[in-house]
Chain A
Amino acid sequence: MRNVIIIGSGPAGYTAAIYAARANLNPVLLASSVEAGGELMNTTEVENYPGFPEGIQGPELMTKMQEQAERFGTEVILDDVTEVSLGGEVKTVKTGYSGDFEAASVIVATGSAYRKLGLADEERLSGRGISWCATCDGFFFKQKTIAVVGGGDSAMEEATFLTRFASKVYVIHRKDTLRASKIMQDRAFANDKIEFIWNSEVVGISGENAVDGVTLKSTVDGTESHLELGGLFIAIGNDPRTHLFHGQLELTLDGTIAVDGRSSRTNLPGVFAAGDVIDPTYRQAVTAAASGTVAALDAEHYLASLEQEANHNPEIASAVAATV
């Protein structure tokens, strides 16, 4: 049995791993088979992570975090968690094809997943003109008229990035003001290729084999209009990735995993959560990293208390000896 299993490989997961590994807890980190590195793998320049005054590419930052975690003895496994059992003293985590893992503690850092519009043709046209990742797919929209849906930082970043390829980028937003930070807004406003469509939501997507347009509905007077497009990028936010833990971990009204105050403690002893999966508000690389630190320290404290308990109670000493 292990000391700690970390589920997730974004800034929260890797930072938890760095701290846990430096505390000699020999963590195993289950990184996912195809989404290892998390959301930053789909970004370009990261300009607000301290320590990189010239900025750093998202994928490069994640590679460095992984290297740092591995340097101190983290075992990184590129596989997906399929099932967890967290209630008992021994936590079990099952993976796609790397077998089952057991540990005395688990840190959940599964982040969040792209939110969908929830329209009938969305699934059918995904990858056929609908995309959630400008850096992955922008290349295929050279000289096309496209649109980004959303009003946050990621929508502004995507729109600005896409002007490298597209001839015109509409930004479709439900309100008449943006949620994005000032610097991201200013960049988008200053870009000649970007045009804002305010107070509108996408209520339909058309196209036989590829997207050819969207139906917009005014959030002010309900009138509908059609907009011809060669591509649609959706950046309307994320939902915490909690499906593996339903029925075991308590959630908040926001859908994030509930933790005790400023700690990472969930409703189950020995189970900690960190990063975007507990954060409906800030969701930055650096806040996720900080949250990963909290989880590692909480897990370390928990394991130490188990050991102490064992010292006072010889009956469970043998069970814990296998852990430490």
Chain B
Amino acid sequence: MTTSPAAKAAGPCAGQIWLFSSIGKKTVVAATGILLVAFVVGHLLGNLTIFLGPDALNSYAAKLHSLGPALWAIRAALLGILVAHIYFTMLLWKENHAARPQKYIASNPVGTTVFARTMRLSGLIVLAFVIFHLAHFTVRVVDPSFATMTTTLDGHKVHDVYRMVVTGFSNGPVVLVYVVGLFLLTFHLSHGIGSLFQTLGITNRRIRRTYEIGGRALAWALYAGYISIPVSIFFFGLGKGAIQ
């Protein structure tokens, strides 16, 4: 009888073969994508506490910091997820480029959306934005004064995140960077969220459209949520009084 084609190709490690197959790599990108989306959602929910006043945000931030090593573990995991997301995407890019070295002279994209076609560009810009964002509010090198802002909460001295955010978003160019950066993230997620159901194989032809629309709606809802903070601060003076 025949030997299984699978058995022939299997070699020493089936897991590795799966991981570096076209579908395996895509699955990694999609699975890390889910985790990153989950982070983006959680991060937003935390950030929205700003609308509940300085104490709410600061106590949320303090709680996160009190996690200590666990926080660092989460950060490391997030970084790892992001690196995997980017690394496997790069592998895919390289192969995809090799599979279609010659473009059509009369180029005419059909069936695709602008979100899908700009995934690489939007991804790169989002990466740059994330680096800026970390430098801005986490490492606080954009404005070193952020690091020294403190306040008292329940008798403890804590970092005054509220003041930092309000001060940070009072700066026009910074707000513009956030509005644009987050817009690109939305672009990225507009294709990404709906698409990961397809990649992970948890869709069918009837439900796919719903996922796509739902994914896009979630992406834009996240956008609305995120930019509500800089927009409220910059244009509507949110928190200006509280930090006087």
A and B pair up: no
Binding site for A on B (CB under 8 A): none
